[in-house]
Amino acid sequence: MRHYAPGTDEQALLTRARYNRLVDIFTGITCYSIQNHLRTTISDIGQVEVDEIYVGINKRGTHFVLPCQAKSPGDKFGIVQVMQDMALCQGRYPNAICKPIALQFTDENGVAILELAIREENEILKLSIVEEKHYELVPRSQISDAELRMLMESEL
């Protein structure tokens, strides 16, 4: 896969996350990518762009919409972008719970995924991290059978 999506830019990140089903693993929700690089207009806001949108369903049947923003290493996530993502989701997917997701390479093989939220503190809106996890993407050939057995046993 890395052969076809080299580098650490946003496109490579989105491709690797989709291929490895990282959004599903991170959220524990079965998710499907329904659109990427959506550019649209929201009334009272103007033009917005979302890198990728996933929809998902959990084991209780609850529906989710997950707007994802991918950033290159060193780039920052901003509150305005998250607020725009949430407004888009409320307008287009009013019957689904919105969970804004941020993805960023930590190095060539490492990916950080964060669920973000907007909270109010002393009448000021702030961006907060609901959950953060880091993943190391490695080829199957670099994982020993003993490591796989250990992982399997830890799930039992």
Domain boundaries, the chain: 10-155
pLDDT of residue 106: 92
pTM of the entire predicted model: 0.87
Q: Is pLDDT of 16 > 70? A: yes
**Residues 6 or more apart in contact with residue 120 via CB below 8 angstroms:** 126
Per-residue model confidence as pLDDT tens digits over 111-144: 999 999 999 988 899 999 999 999 999 888 888 8
For the domain made up of 10-155, the CATH class stated in words is alpha beta
Model confidence pLDDT, tens digit, residues 42-85: 888 889 999 999 999 999 999 999 999 998 888 888 899 999 99
Element (H, E) at 98: strand 97-98
Helix (H/G/I), strand (E/B), else coil: 17 = helix
